[in-house]
Chain A
């Protein structure tokens, strides 16, 4: 039953997309088919799907570790940007040396950066009881401003016609391409590794068990002697590390250089990915692919119909809404009962 609501949510979202198409004067059914199939009709398209899905899956897995433990990490976007900043620093300063250590160093630095950003809400939550939701969200805005400051300032390419962008990354600082003739790169491997590690951690390890118990009932966890502080730290750092790696994967992959807008909202979209995948690593793999498809369809709608790019986010957020609604209808049997009359006078 738990898998029924993503299916319902998807169907409803497809219906909404068809309404949007009909409103734009198109044949709803055939345009829907076009927008689902056309982006992945050839190998290049499939590769594009994979490189968009990779960061979503990666961050989705990291966030789900926290969500399972009841730790609300909303800072995926900021943690991703820290991955861009830390990984980008290594790439820009040591990329031209061409050493084999450059790429691993970039990935490690990016993971450290993301974890550093996630450590702030974790520390403030465990030490000072501050809401990790609000703190991690504020950190997103701060990270974005930090990246802007770098790219508009010290990192701006002197030969870039004054555009806010860094120099192109040296070839030695780019992720290797997996499929010849496409942009599919090694970030896909990181995503798959995250799925496996996430599954082992949550389903086959004692730590994962402790996290799940903490999420289901904090009281029970404390009674069993499981540290809730540790759950906050693990939940936060998992999200930070994966988001950081996803961030460096963007600049060392599809982008090839550093822009102030390094992420098309992957940090927020990954929240939807995590929920849509039911906080389950395998589910997240599929929901990540699906959300990536919505990105591609949105790009297509933008190019062929001139629709605003925000159509992507709109459909993705509708998906989340439908999912939450479908969950309610599956978990509860709603019955309408007539309100009692007699108490009306007392209430007024």
Chain B
């Protein structure tokens, strides 16, 4: 029994991890009132940066760092246009996704079809010897463990620190936050950059650890699912964290159905995460009161101190 459950748990955790990173990053960004729909593009750039660095150096941590820097560079572009210049956030986010996706496939051309061999780290081998959780932890890259720490950190930051409170205040009412003397634009920049960095990690996880193989369209809408995940989570980290694994499970269902010989077309199973996203969005959005109470009040609206 336990032998059958462990692969299921491991697979769900693995598939959910990029969504944990990208979702929590976007959640912090949106909590500051900034709607960055360019997560998909930032993930693609993070994915190619990490893939290229791993290919060259073999060092996964260096690759993750490169992915964070590359995706953050893209989020700076977003921040300048959408926060400083007050351009339409949806339009800039879309442009960021289209740009990131095409830049990714341009830069990734030489890597198409290449595979990476990532050795299990010493940490994983040590973790595998732990009692009880060993069989699960030993199969998960430390980047997965870090995503749990990230969740704890984001939760603690948003609800138990002064800076987190200020960030939420900026998202709810930038005018009030500004009136009290908080630098609204700077806080929004930090939140956007954090979202960019986390999207980068998510992309790195997908290209280096999840697939380990570069193909075009590798991210396959995970960035958009992360944006939907934040809505599903009603902007709360705990629900975002749990929701990521729910979607991870939906991705995994196809592999298990295939191995169990269930005669459904593989395309239908591949469509499950997208269908699940739509269903979940509908279920959460239909309650207008919940949505109105949960959404950061200034989400998507540019702010100017003089307006």
Q: CA A120 – CA B277 in complex, angstroms?
A: 13
Give the Cβ gap from A164 to chain B, nearest Cβ, in Å. Answer: 12
Decide yes or no: A314 and B103 within 8 Å by CB, A129-B291, A141-B274, A271-B98 being known contacts: yes
* Cβ B221 vs Cβ A141 within 8 A: yes
Considering only residues 191-244 of chain B, those with a C-beta below 8 Å from chain A are 220-221, 224, 227-228, 231
* Cβ A328 vs Cβ B102 within 8 A: no
Give the Cβ gap from B8 to chain A, nearest Cβ, in Å. Answer: 24
* Cβ A138 vs Cβ B278 within 8 A: yes
* Cβ A317 vs Cβ B281 within 8 A: no
Q: When the two chains form the complex, which single residue of B99, B227, B270, B285 contacts A128, counting CB atoms closer than 8 Å?
A: B285
* Cβ A316 vs Cβ B102 within 8 A: yes
**Hey, which chain A residues are within 8 Å of B221, CB to CB?**
137-138, 141
Query: B105 interface residue, CB < 8 Å from A?
Result: yes
CB-nearest residue of chain A to B163: A348
Considering only residues 50-101 of chain B, those with a C-beta below 8 Å from chain A are 77, 81, 85-88, 90-92, 94-95, 98-99, 101
Query: B129 interface residue, CB < 8 Å from A?
Result: no
Decide yes or no: A142 and B271 within 8 Å by CB, A128-B286, A271-B94, A328-B87 being known contacts: yes
Query: B106 interface residue, CB < 8 Å from A?
Result: yes
Q: When the two chains form the complex, which single residue of B181, B231, B267 contacts A346, counting CB atoms closer than 8 Å?
A: B181
Query: A258 interface residue, CB < 8 Å from B?
Result: no
Please count how many residues in chain B sit with their CB below 8 Å of the partner chain's CB atoms: 46
Give the Cβ gap from B94 to chain A, nearest Cβ, in Å. Answer: 7
* Cβ A313 vs Cβ B105 within 8 A: yes
Stretch at the interface among A51-59, A105-113, A146-154, A179-187: A146-154
Interface bits B13-49 vs A (CB < 8 Å: 1, else 0): 0000000000000000000000001000000000000
**Hey, which chain B residues are within 8 Å of A138, CB to CB?**
221, 224, 228, 274-275, 277-278
Decide yes or no: A346 and B94 within 8 Å by CB, A142-B275, A328-B81 being known contacts: no
* Cβ B281 vs Cβ A310 within 8 A: no
* Cβ B95 vs Cβ A320 within 8 A: yes
* Cβ B105 vs Cβ A74 within 8 A: no
Decide yes or no: A317 and B267 within 8 Å by CB, A129-B288, A138-B221, A324-B87 being known contacts: no
Q: CA A145 – CA B166 in complex, angstroms?
A: 44
Q: CA A347 – CA B271 in complex, angstroms?
A: 47
* Cβ B267 vs Cβ A148 within 8 A: yes
Determine chain A's interface SS by DSSP, over half rule. Answer: helix
* Cβ B98 vs Cβ A272 within 8 A: yes
Query: B282 interface residue, CB < 8 Å from A?
Result: yes
* Cβ B106 vs Cβ A130 within 8 A: no
Decide yes or no: A325 and B81 within 8 Å by CB, A146-B267, A310-B105, A339-B183 being known contacts: yes
* Cβ B281 vs Cβ A131 within 8 A: yes
Query: A268 interface residue, CB < 8 Å from B?
Result: yes
Q: CA A74 – CA B231 in complex, angstroms?
A: 18
* Cβ B181 vs Cβ A343 within 8 A: yes
Give the Cβ gap from B276 to chain A, nearest Cβ, in Å. Answer: 9
Query: B5 interface residue, CB < 8 Å from A?
Result: no
* Cβ B86 vs Cβ A321 within 8 A: no
Query: B265 interface residue, CB < 8 Å from A?
Result: yes
Query: A133 interface residue, CB < 8 Å from B?
Result: yes
* Cβ B99 vs Cβ A133 within 8 A: no
* Cβ B106 vs Cβ A124 within 8 A: no
CB-nearest residue of chain B to A342: B181
Q: CA A332 – CA B304 in complex, angstroms?
A: 12
Query: B260 interface residue, CB < 8 Å from A?
Result: no
Give the Cβ gap from A318 to chain B, nearest Cβ, in Å. Answer: 7
Give the Cβ gap from A206 to chain B, nearest Cβ, in Å. Answer: 27
* Cβ A129 vs Cβ B286 within 8 A: yes
Query: B1 interface residue, CB < 8 Å from A?
Result: no
CB-nearest residue of chain A to B99: A317
A residues at B contact (CB < 8 Å): 72, 74, 120, 124, 127-131, 133-135, 137-139, 141-142, 145-146, 148-149, 152-153, 268, 271-272, 275, 308, 310-314, 316-318, 320-321, 324-325, 327-329, 332, 334, 339, 342-343, 346-347
| Selected A-B contacts with CB under 8 Å, 9 pairs | A124-B281, A127-B286, A130-B282, A134-B281, A142-B271, A272-B98, A313-B101, A342-B181, A346-B182
Please provide the 9 A-B residue pairs with the shortest distance between their CB atoms, ordered closest to farther. A313-B102, A343-B181, A308-B109, A149-B267, A310-B106, A317-B99, A328-B85, A310-B105, A128-B286
